[in-house]
Amino acid sequence: MMRKLPIFALVVLTLSACSPGRMSRGVAASPTTEKMNADEAGSGPASRGLAFANANCSGCHAVTTGRGSPNPEAPPFEVVVNAPGPTAATLKPWLRDSHNFPAMMNFAIDPEQIDDLAAYMTTLQRRDYTPPIQ
């Protein structure tokens, strides 16, 4: 598993280089995202994960669909979870360890919140996802 983390990080960073600074406004939200937006006030894991992402991740990453990240070097969550391979199980160790490098990204997520964040991020997965074109 530890050998796969650097490869996964490389894939995500490579994909982030292909993501646009701003996505078109005409992109429709996925049904799961619409459900999350309607249920944002809920107390389930995905709702708590969205609240955590908005409070802690949105300064660098786009945490909802159809937006570019505020930091062009930080991939949108939508790009991360729609790359080949991410599942809730594979996201958890990656979320725990992903910000350990470089030093400017030194950010730790409490273990209790990793499950919630992974639950939210997987709601952004879509079978019909097409990576953004620059």
Considering the domain boundaries, does residue 78 fall inside one?
yes
In a domain, 73, yes or no: yes
pLDDT of residue 78: 94
Question: What CATH number should be reported for the domain holding residue 115?
Answer: 1.10.760.10
Helix (H, G, I), strand (E, B) or coil at 19: coil
Give me the domain span that covers residue 39.
Answer: 32-122
pLDDT tens digits in sequence order for the chain, 134 residues long: 445 444 444 444 444 433 333 332 233 344 444 444 434 456 799 999 999 999 999 999 999 998 889 998 889 999 999 999 899 999 999 888 877 665 666 777 888 899 999 999 999 999 998 887 75
The structural domain count of the chain equals: 1
The reply to whether 71 falls in a domain is yes
Q: Which residues of 43-64 are buried (b: 16+ CB within 10 A; e: fewer)?
A: eebbbbbbbbbeebbbebbbbb
Does residue 90 belong to any structural domain of this protein? yes
**Residue 22 within a domain:** no
